[in-house]
Structure 1
Amino acid sequence: MKIIYLAYKNMVSKPLNLMLSLMLLMLSVSLVTFVLQLSQQLGGQLNKNIAPFDMVVGAKGSPLQLVLSSVLHVDAPTGNIKLKEAEFIENHPFVKTAIPVSYGDSYKGFRILGTESEYLSLYNAKLADGELFKTSFEVVVGSNVAERLQLKIGDSFIGTHGLIDSGDDAHDEHPYVVTGIIEQTGTVVDQLLITTLESIWESHNHEDEDHHDEEQDESHDHDEEHHDDHDHDHESDEYHHDDETSEHSDEHEHDEEREITSLLVKFKNPLGMVQLPRFINENTNTQAALPGYEIQRLTNLFGSGVKTINGIALAILLVSALSIFISLLKTIRERKKELALLRTYGLSTNQILLLVFSEGIFLALIGFILGWVLGRLGIWGVSQYLQVSNGYHLQILGPDLTELLFLGIIFVITIIATLLASISIFKLNVAKTLSDA
């Protein structure tokens, strides 16, 4: 106990040396623990969000952009595809589930997603209150959206065109009504306003329909002015029949022209993942992207950055070990007389060596704890940012196996530095040292 107390007193007697060693060690540990936790948790979040789907089919462009926009909802879409093309993929024998999604509108920065109720089922999303959408312009709200915007059952709002809250080009003629609030899932669902596909189509086709109706009315009036009074009834009946035929044709044409943003696919077996994406990319006007593959590419890019930062942290750790070595070496040389006196009071060489070791271990342990806390504060700060921007929540976890292994590496480096600094203890001549005093 006295040795530990002496080690503590020796350590705090040189505050500047102590602060330098601790700061270097803290910086190294905080970098390593922060980067490890961030990469692990973000990787887990990404995998959790892409797990329900094996393939995304959308407009030609960047496959990574297609996955980010359609599955993770953090990018702009590559474009739209025809609903008819999507129906062909839905009916393919390799396909187990195919869910169309359509988006492009938002409310106060949160995306309005048109899809089917099965989309929620694949994320195991359950309602905390209310009921699912049944008709157009009914919407269920993700937990983060409801909390941020204070939306409740029965509230209504106007969506705006675009994925950024610009406040322009609002669809005033079609207000959305909140029918349900979704329990927190820890997935992208928490950040979405989810409605029917028909809601998206109707909100964007409304202006086109109004323009088309005006043209039909003008054509109808123009034709009536040129009818003879004698043939008025007969021609009117013919026009009415032609008008009905035209409306039926327009409706069929309208269905043919309906578009979605993308199709989210789950395969029946691994064979579909091997054959169907290549077939789609080579033989259709659409593109197929595999979320697992694209996210792996993305995390590999992150991995290069993680390795770089860990390399920097290791370099700082070596500088920290050098600082501890110099500090202990300087302490031993300055306190030769004190160490000689301790020998005369009955302390053995091993006990004096233990004293120096205790000081080094104290430095390593305190530096690791402070660095670990600093790294977790960084995780908390990033979590707050991601919670607001993307709805991702990072957990503040205890030390994991990798971090404990890193602590072991720190102890080994510290022990080596302490041993090198303590060589002079074995050569300490007590009589000569005291006589020189």
Structure 2
Amino acid sequence: MNIFILSIKNIISKPLSTGLSLVLLALGVGLISLILHIDRHLQSQMNNNIRGIDMVVGAKGSPLQLILSAVFQIDVPTGNIKLSEANTLKKNRLIKYGIPLSYGDSYETFRIVGTNQEYPELYSMQLAEGSLWTKSLDVTIGATVAEKTGMKVGDTFLGSHGLSEGGHVHEDQFYTVTGIFQSSGSVIDQLILTGLESVWDIHDDHSSHAADDNDHESDNPEPSATGEIKTSQEDDHDHDHDHEDGHEHHDHVVPEEDREITAMLIKFRSPMGMVQLPRMVNENTNMQAALPNYELLKLFSLMGIATTTLSMVAFVVILVSGISVFISLYLSLKDRIYEMALLRTYGASRQQLLGMIFQEGLLIAFSGFVLGLLLSRIGLLVISYLLESDYRYGFTDSMPIIEEGYLLIITLVIGFLAALIPAIHVFKINLSKSLADA
């Protein structure tokens, strides 16, 4: 007599009650597993991307927006700041280094970020091929950028204005790919890095072209501010007069002191910088200082409320499923009293009958757990797809985690407890009475 096979047949014989118990268990386990994986992935990604960054300086606005845009590159920037003002701050004795970032253009939704070569060093980036950028309009691209766009070393492309598709394309100003980074799991995988001068040159030339277009439009007679109409001869005279004064009419070179960047990533020399500099920047400059660790702690605290609530709901669902398993086994047992008594007369011991009941509870619990893990992995794939399409982030690791081991133990305990009362009834079964009643 194979008690294990008999347990399986007993479970299958009640498809509706067993199916309900499995669905409830799977939903509870799947939801908790999904929450655990999302929380783990988000914390891992965020901690990986803020390493070496104690403070971010940018335009005034939302501190969290500044962190998300400058560190994680998943939000729009709060504005621009003067490079000269950022460099003055960078010289403070409490600052170890400051890494400038300047962006606003993209290629196929991948951001083009102007910076210096300390930025990839911050994440210990290694080159898969080629080299880092060395001059204006040279770029080094992340592994994800290379994979999604198919670009290789030596390829050229045109950037477009804005951080999403559909922006104005900067014509006749081709970027050249000089290198490709190895995959690192950091934000740089999603970026196109170049020098600050590339961003400035692109936008200086764009401003010059815009000014040229305006000048061409002014070749037609237009009313002046006083209502007079200038003829082409008068306009030529004014143009010549500008040259006589030694000024080019279309000279739009931006002075160094007027250069702007989007943000600066700062590392302190000592904990004293954390105490003094953020308040000093926020109160005495036109810039805003935001602390990544502090802002992410607030973000995770808000997320923690939601995840805790969802986890509590999931545990309630698991407990309800445990009650469902208990009811299923108990009602099934009442119909199988004669069967149990008959098994005893054929030589089955009390321990074997107890084992059969406990096996049924544990088999339902384990099957619900496995089905729940499958549901959580499907959920991860869906969320990963949505994140990758919107933010270029994805969940690549779906391997089991230690917390799922604890979840398995909890699920099996619930299955064991659900079978406990039916098992006690089986242990106390009265053979003669049960056979006589049948």
TM-score by length of structure 1 reads: 0.90
Amino acid at match of 1:390: Y
Structure 1, unaligned stretches of length 5 or more?
227-235
Taking a change above 3 Å as real, the CA distance of residues 11 and 358 of structure 1, as seen in their structure-2 partners, is same
CA contact (8 A) 1:158 1:176 kept: yes
Amino acid at match of 1:420: I
**Equivalent residue runs for 1:322-337 within 5 Å:** 322-337=323-338
* Cα distance in 2, alignment partners of residues 225 and 144 from structure 1: 53
- C-alpha displacement of 1:211: 6.5
Name the residue aligned to 1:291: 292
* Cα distance in 2, alignment partners of residues 250 and 205 from structure 1: 7
* Cα distance in 2, alignment partners of residues 208 and 382 from structure 1: 41
* Cα distance in 2, alignment partners of residues 271 and 120 from structure 1: 26
Amino acid at match of 1:129: E
Name the residue aligned to 2:123: 123
**Equivalent residue runs for 1:260-299 within 5 Å:** 260-299=261-300
The answer on 1:191 being equivalent to 2:190 is yes
Name the residue aligned to 1:231: none
Amino acid at match of 2:200: W
* Cα distance in 1, alignment partners of residues 337 and 252 from structure 2: 99
The answer on 1:176 being equivalent to 2:175 is yes
Report SS of the residue matched to 1:175: strand
Name the residue aligned to 2:199: 200
The answer on 1:30 being equivalent to 2:30 is yes
CA contact (8 A) 1:191 1:390 kept: no
* Cα distance in 1, alignment partners of residues 401 and 159 from structure 2: 44
Amino acid at match of 2:179: G
Taking a change above 3 Å as real, the CA distance of residues 334 and 293 of structure 1, as seen in their structure-2 partners, is same
**Equivalent residue runs for 1:390-401 within 5 Å:** 390-401=391-402
- C-alpha displacement of 1:424: 2.6
Q: Which moved more, 1:414-423 or 1:128-137?
A: 414-423
Name the residue aligned to 1:70: 70
**Equivalent residue runs for 1:7-406 within 5 Å:** 7-166=7-166, 168-209=167-208, 222=237, 243=246, 254-406=255-407
CA contact (8 A) 2:207 2:252 kept: no
* Cα distance in 2, alignment partners of residues 334 and 130 from structure 1: 75
TM-score by length of structure 2 reads: 0.89
* Cα distance in 2, alignment partners of residues 426 and 419 from structure 1: 10
Between Structure 1 and Structure 2, how many residues are aligned?
Answer: 420
- C-alpha displacement of 1:103: 0.4
Amino acid at match of 2:205: H
* Cα distance in 1, alignment partners of residues 128 and 53 from structure 2: 24
Name the residue aligned to 2:227: none
* Cα distance per residue 1:258-310 (max 9 Å; x no partner): 11001111111111112111110111111000111111211222211111111
* Cα distance in 2, alignment partners of residues 163 and 31 from structure 1: 34
CA contact (8 A) 1:45 1:392 kept: no
Name the residue aligned to 2:422: 421
Structure 2, unaligned stretches of length 5 or more?
216-231
* Cα distance in 1, alignment partners of residues 397 and 209 from structure 2: 54
Amino acid at match of 1:243: G
CA contact (8 A) 2:208 2:252 kept: no
Greater share of helix: 1
* Cα distance in 2, alignment partners of residues 147 and 158 from structure 1: 18
Taking a change above 3 Å as real, the CA distance of residues 395 and 148 of structure 1, as seen in their structure-2 partners, is closer
